[in-house]
Amino acid sequence: MSLFVTVPTARLAESIGPLPEGVELEVWDLASPAPREKIDLVVPPYMGGSSALEALEGLDVGLVQSQSIGYEGIGEKLPAGIPFANAASVHETSTAEIALALTLAAQRQFPRFVLAQQNGEWAPAFAESLADRRVLLVGFGGVGEAIALRLEPFEVELTVVARTARPVWHERLGRVQVHAIDELAELLPNAEVVVLALPGGDETRHLFDDEMLAFLPDGALLVNVGRGTLVDTDALVRQNGRIRAALDVMDPEPLPAEHPLWKTEGVLISPHVGGASTAMNPRIAKLIRKQIERMLRGEAPVNVVLDGS
């Protein structure tokens, strides 16, 4: 059996390394003409946007392997009949790292220290800890689980929320009682730190609007590493610093330079870099190799989230 595979960069092609006999790999960024009419596996650019998928129209494509976990809006751009796999297993650890980094930076007032350093000022501060805080984790998929594992050593009081309530036994976390998302209004008033790790889409759009944000106590910290659309950005600005926020994802993105969120008191912003670390390249390369090997054996690919029907 032979396979023809395309990846968007020479760097990724090099990371994948030697391939089994019968596999041909070519670099294609989806911006230039397609190298062939039939491609068994296409890997689009990481930050190319879903519009790049329109380049697949009229081609015979066996599978699109995304480099991202999220896939909202993909079905509208992906030509009919092409299966689509997301990058589960690639970004969970890096996204969990930035969730912890943002939380710690906000709690321990790192932005204040950075500004003081620029001015050559010695400016000690008595800050909030992460230890002993009541943390509400909203989302318990791959990213949420990775965040929970990293929160555990910080001795927090952790409450987990997902779409449906259920008890979960985790080999490292033990028994986790997952609360339903419709319990948020009851849980938020007791939360000191809220970490969002939900996917985007219509069901979760502006989940944290004026009404939901109002349930948070004064001084609470909202951390978002899920999707920017989870939070109504205008509603967050209207909080005017009553609650704090540490955000790796925003709505809109990129955040315009004139947007008031930049100057909203108590807000820390990173520019959607949760998965952008040195962990990404070897992990996406490993996933692509796994897909190739499964296809060579005649097995179904993993992580298929849209079957092309």
Angle between helices 110-118 and 92-107 (to 10 degrees): 70
Q: How many Å apart are CA 208 and CA 229, to the nearest integer?
A: 9
Whether 272 is catalytic: yes
Cα atoms in the Cβ-side hemisphere of radius 13 Å centred on 239? 31
Q: Give burial (CB, 10 Å; 0-12/13-18/19+) of 132.
A: exposed
Torsion, Cα of 35, 41, 42, 47 (10° steps): -150
**91, 133, 227, 244: which one is catalytic?**
227
- In the numeric block, which tokens belong to residue 277? 């670390």
Whether 283 is catalytic: no
Q: Which amino acid type is present at position 161? A: V
In the chain, at which residue ranges do the beta strands (DSSP E only) sit?
A: 3-7, 23-27, 38-39, 41-42, 60-61, 64-65, 84-85, 134-138, 157-162, 166-170, 174-180, 193-196, 221-224, 244-247, 267-269, 304-306
**91, 133, 244, 272: which one is catalytic?**
272
Q: Give burial (CB, 10 Å; 0-12/13-18/19+) of 230.
A: buried
Q: How many Å apart are CA 215 and CA 47, to the nearest integer?
A: 35
**253, 265, 293, 299: which one is catalytic?**
253
Active site residues: 227, 253, 272
